[in-house]
Chain A
Amino acid sequence: MSLTTIPDTLFVNARLVDPASGLDAPGSLLVSGGRIADHGGSLGQPDGATVIDCGGAVLAPGLVDLRAALGEPGAEYRETIESAAIAAAAGGITTVCALPDTQPALDDPALVQFLLRKGEATGSLSVLPYGAATKGCAGQELSEFGLLKEAGAIAFTDGGKAIANARTMRLALSYARAFGAFVVQHPEEPALAKGGAATEGEQATRMGLPGIPPAAEAMMVMRDIALARLTGGHVHFAHVSTAAALELIRGAKAEGLKVTCDTAPPYFDLNETAIGDFRTYAKLSPPLRREEDRLAVVAALADGTVDAIASDHQPADPDDKRLPFAQASAGGTGLATLLGITLARVHAGDLQLGTALALLTSRPAALLGIEAGRLERGAPADLVLFDLERAWKVEAGKLPGKAQNSPFDGRALEGRVLGTWKAGRRVFG
């Protein structure tokens, strides 16, 4: 279906929230030709327009997810772009950045184009692939940043693997400047994390699990901040989870360095006790942390240190998880729960609604330099409509999409997506 054949849609009786402009007011929004034509207190109804009565629910920009593994290519038994798109639509996500540590890794322009096409084919989700920072995400030789960027790579990373070698990271940060790209680091010193299954401390000690010291994160952040200072490059730290790392990032930002970061819902909603009874669905990378760290992540969301909340979606199939804890694969699904878990912080009084939504829409969009993430005349009509109060329960096995390994299994939430629109077309609800 081409965009021009979509009839105009008029959303009425909505609570319009646009974090970029600070708008939070009742009103209507008109979509025409796949873009936002107008919004305001009350709009006239054009002929033939579909009218959607929002019943006072929140109408906001579709979510922009900075970080998700989508299973393709190579792990289609866990997730496909098609199945991820279903989960994303149900979660109100309309743009997602796909991690490149696939099989094969996204270190070739043709693979980047393949992912872009796969995303377009869904009709509901823009897939923005990361390029592999190093060939094969092996951490040795830089991949072809220029050619990958031309092909559509949004930025560069080795995904769930840290770029461990300091010289390689220095070169990546330096070389990426030529193409205006940033480099995403999984901040974890591999020598300290090797073999670890949980955060080192009382919980891991009791369970007899090999630990990863929280300092493994802070050390890598400290090193890469020094490299950002050295090179003038832009480093982005993914799924930051410790107080110490956040404090370093806060300092680097104050210094004016090009340092940004995201975190993911598990790190502000759960702590390490979630792995009790050897619950492998709560085995993540980085591992769930102590309560003090969780509280520090919440504070960093509120004070702006964190630039975005990403789903950090890591699909697994049952056999990846039905293993003794240390052998089970790390990672949890996150697309369908990204908004709900974030809204839990709003309900708890830790975040304003606008602040929370900015972390899910305008701020990641600004980081990526894309036009999504705003309720602005002329912007793509990527929209999410959600009821801030409606209760639901996360149930692994009943989640949209393929992968079911949610660390939030059993979690009761308030705030449910009622509908999702991609370029003016309804894709969920």
Chain B
Amino acid sequence: MLPYPHRHLLALQGLEPPYIADLLDLAESYALLNRSGKTQRDLLKGRTLINLFFEDSTRTRTSFELAGKRLGADVINMSVSNSSVNKGETLLDTASTLNAMHCDLLVVRHAQSGAPALLSQKVDAAVINAGDGTHEHPTQALLDALTIRRRKGQLENLTVAICGDVLHSRVARSNIHLLLAMNCRVRLVGPPTLIPAEAGRLGVEVFHDMKAGLKDVDVVMMLRLQKERMAGGLVPSAREFFRFYGLDAAKLALAKPDAIVMHPGPMNRGVEIDSAIADDPVRSVIGEQVEMGVAVRMAVLDILSRNQRRNAR
């Protein structure tokens, strides 16, 4: 296994395929370990992991917390209220506070793109981006990749449709970078108002007709549509969105017969996904995504702390 070349995990853009494959292999082994009920509580013993969440999240925070605890780290959750987020000094003041606490691993979620990168310049800890604005959410894409690889037996040469509100999705951006690096064909499906400008220049194909976009795909990745998008006029109504861009049985029928359905959660049932699809035990892998989330985060914590140990020597 190659030593991971960075101190932090801030983005997947630019991360070379061998490192992605290594991370997934390691995560796979943690997935097996987790299923066996065993733990490795000595690996991060005596290390401090801080979950610094400037934005509400239950799922991701819990997943990192569990990952840290299964590896034996001391895990602390810090939620910073929205009122103080707006003060820029707070972010860097927080950095000096964290340095004083001798935090080793810092998991950051922030509503602003680039906030974890800014923090990483000021803290001694290894920073893991747990979602920044509409930029990236690297561990989500890694867990999605691991889920796909387990279900499909491979990651390369698949066709993946990422559907819905791509414009505001950090999950989509990280997935685009990872899937393209692993030689998948990536399609973006959504109304023009929810597809980012010049998305085609990233190397993806863009579809505004969901039926065409889903034709013969191996993986359907749905994204959450936030209610505020309706208020902002980007989508006229939830019912119109569901009619044209919601995943239902009729649209899914155009994908390959064994195509899997993914969603990063939390879902808006009846807005971007029909309940019957979300709960379909054969097609939906949403539950497995959550399970792989813990394994992927264990692998990320492991690899970054290996780097810290190597640098300390």
Hey, which bits of chain A sit against chain B, CB under 8 A?
200-202, 204-211, 213, 277-278, 319, 322-328
Contacts and interface: CB of A to CB of B under 8 A. Distances in A.
Contact of A324 (B115, B198, B199): B115
B202 A205 contact: yes
Given A207-B135, A208-B170, A324 B197 contact: no
B165 interface: no
A324 B133 contact: yes
A392 to B, nearest CB: 27
Contact of A323 (B13, B91, B117, B135): B91
B89 interface: yes
B70 to A, nearest CB: 30
Contact of B114 (A200, A202, A278, A319): A278
Contacts of B86: 327
25 contacts: A202-B198, A204-B196, A205-B202, A206-B202, A207-B113, A208-B113, A208-B133, A208-B134, A208-B135, A208-B173, A209-B114, A209-B134, A210-B134, A278-B113, A278-B114, A278-B118, A323-B91, A324-B110, A324-B115, A324-B118, A325-B112, A326-B112, A326-B113, A326-B133, A327-B86
A335 to B, nearest CB: 25
Contact of A327 (B112, B117, B198): B112
Contacts, number: 71
Contacts of A324: 88, 91, 110, 112-115, 118, 133
A154 B110 CA distance: 45
A326 B113 CA distance: 7
B218 interface: no
Contacts of B66: none
Contacts of B198: 201-202, 205
B114 A325 contact: yes
Contacts of B199: 205
B137 to A, nearest CB: 10
A71 to B, nearest CB: 20
Interface of B: 13, 86, 88-89, 91-92, 110, 112-115, 117-118, 132-136, 170, 173, 196-199, 201-202
A204 B197 CA distance: 8
B198 to A, nearest CB: 4
A25 B112 CA distance: 55
Contacts of A213: 197
A322 B202 contact: no
A84 to B, nearest CB: 24
A35 to B, nearest CB: 49
A322 B113 contact: no
A417 to B, nearest CB: 33
Contact of A207 (B88, B89, B114): B114
B112 A202 contact: no
B162 to A, nearest CB: 14
Contact of B197 (A201, A322, A325): A201
Contacts of A323: 88, 91, 118
A57 to B, nearest CB: 40
A392 B114 CA distance: 31
Contacts of B202: 202, 205-206
A206 B11 CA distance: 11
B110 A208 contact: no
B173 A327 contact: no
Nearest to B116: A324
A208 B88 contact: no
Contacts of B132: 208
Contacts of A207: 113-114, 135
Contacts of B136: 208
Contacts of B113: 207-209, 278, 324-326
B88 A205 contact: no
A217 to B, nearest CB: 15
Given A208-B113, A326-B133, A200 B92 contact: no
A206 B173 contact: yes
B88 A278 contact: no
A428 B89 CA distance: 36
B13 A206 contact: yes
A200 B197 contact: yes
Given A208-B134, A324-B114, 8 more contacts: A202-B198, A205-B199, A208-B133, A209-B134, A209-B135, A323-B88, A324-B113, A327-B112
Contacts of B197: 200-202, 204-205, 211, 213
Contacts of B201: 202, 205
A211 B196 CA distance: 9
Contacts of A328: 88
A325 B198 CA distance: 21
User: Which of A201, A324, A325, A328 is packed against the most chain B CB atoms within 10 Å?
Assistant: A324
Nearest to A325: B114
Contacts of B115: 324
A326 B170 CA distance: 15
A325 B199 CA distance: 21
A322 B88 contact: yes
Given A201-B197, A202-B197, A208-B134, A319 B117 contact: no
Enumerate the 7 nearest inter-chain pairs by beta-carbon distance, A residue then B residue, closest first: A208-B135, A324-B112, A278-B114, A323-B88, A208-B134, A208-B113, A205-B196
